[in-house]
Amino acid sequence: MQNNLSTVGLARDHLAAGTKAALLMKLADDPEVLARAARDDCPIPTPHQRIGYYGQDHFGYWLSGLSDLRTMREHFSRHFDQIRGPILDFGASTGRAARHWPMEPEGFEVHACELTGRMVDWMEHHLAGRVVPHQTAVMPPLPFADDTFGVIHAFSVFSHIFDAEEAWLEELRRVARPGAAVALTIHNETTWALLPSLKFRIRDELEQNAEYRRIRAESDIMPDRLHLEQSGVSYAFYSNAHVNTVWSKYFKVLAIEDRAHTYQSMVILTPR
Ligand SMILES: C[S@@+](CC[C@H](N)C(=O)[O-])C[C@H]1O[C@@H](n2cnc3c(N)ncnc32)[C@H](O)[C@@H]1O
């Protein structure tokens, strides 16, 4: 019987099955990646404990965290000479991305903040020694001193945060070291343009939303800042213009990389 600490075993148990995710197939053919999967001794959470990410495609789930980390590091490499730890994964779920940092050649220390207690328990139990988990709240503060982290990332977190947007930007700015590399993914106008053709749950959910349908019917242009609630899920949209004016109060906006996290765009920042 499954409980909140259940797993689906190790990445190496699922190597033979490969992945069904087209975007991850190149990574799944890389011998260095396969060797890394084979030596990863931390288990993979059940689909329930990873918010359904990758369904029954367990190796795809494992690869997706590494893929996001590599994409982000590639974008960082255009703006930062060197990446320094420690790392903060804000809104880490059960460590999909965080778990890969200590396996990088530099062996980074990584802290994972998560709101959902059962996910923090899962990380404490299964990622001990790999990731340092912290249960955090809907609003700041985070349990860290000023100027702590060399890297901060949040995949698919600001795409759901709306009311607390600036409070969290200010807090992440506080715990970022001078010169830190920061990557936050958002729904921006590129996401908005892609939405009608997306084969993801977000499209089906939003098509049931009257406000979304009304905005779409009036214009193709996404409002600068938009919040939609559907089936208990919060969807936040921020235009590039909004990021360039409001987020730049807290960070220098170095780039906004469209589709860097599937249909979400990645904002690359460094503290002001
Ligand atoms: C869509 S999931 C993405 C999880 C993970 N970043 C990934 O890419 O696999 C968003 C996560 O952010 C967490 N979250 C939202 N607001 C948070 C907050 N204020 N502090 C910590 N975690 C938060 C949610 O509980 C959820 O696990």
8-20 confidence digits (pLDDT tens): 999 999 999 999 9
User: Residue 1 — very low, low, confident or very high, per pLDDT cuts 50/70/90?
Assistant: confident
What lines the ligand 1 site, CB under 6 Å?
Answer: 51, 53, 91-93, 96-97, 113-116, 136, 138, 155-157, 161
- Report the pLDDT value the prediction gives residue 102, as an integer from 0 to 100: 97
Q: What is the value of pTM for the model shown?
A: 0.97
pLDDT tens for 42-51 read 999 999 999 9
DSSP string, the chain: ---TT-B---GGGGTTT----GGGHHHHT-HHHHHHHHH--SPPBPGGGGTTTTTT-HHHHHHHHHHHHHHHHHHHHTT-S---S-EEEET-TTTTTGGGGGGSTT---EEEEES-HHHHHHHHHHSTTT-EEEE--SSSPPSS-TT-EEEEEETTSTTT--TTHHHHHHHHHHHEEEEEEEEEEE--HHHHHHGGG--SHHHHHHHT-HHHHHHHHH-SSPPSEEEEEETTEEEEEE-HHHHHHHGGGTEEEEEEEEEEETTEEEEEEEE-
Question: 94 C-alpha vs ligand 1 centroid, how far in Å?
Answer: 9
Atom 5 of ligand 1, nearest CA residue: 92
- Report the pLDDT value the prediction gives residue 220, as an integer from 0 to 100: 86
- Report the pLDDT value the prediction gives residue 96, as an integer from 0 to 100: 98
Q: Is the pLDDT of residue 23 over 80?
A: yes
- Report the pLDDT value the prediction gives residue 144, as an integer from 0 to 100: 98
Question: 15 C-alpha vs ligand 1 centroid, how far in Å?
Answer: 27
What percent of the chain is predicted at pLDDT more than 70? 100
- Report the pLDDT value the prediction gives residue 2, as an integer from 0 to 100: 82
What percent of the chain is predicted at pLDDT more than 90? 97
Question: 27 C-alpha vs ligand 1 centroid, how far in Å?
Answer: 25
pLDDT tens for 196-249 read 999 889 999 999 999 999 999 999 899 999 999 999 999 999 999 999 999 999
Q: Is the pLDDT of residue 70 over 90?
A: yes
- From 71, 88, 93, mutation site for ligand 1 pocket: most ligand atoms within 8 A of C-beta: 93
Q: Backbone phi, then psi, for 259, in 5-degree steps? A: 55, 30
- Averaged pLDDT of the chain: 97
CA distance 135 to 119: 9
Q: Is the pLDDT of residue 119 over 90?
A: yes
- From 157, 159, 161, mutation site for ligand 1 pocket: most ligand atoms within 8 A of C-beta: 157
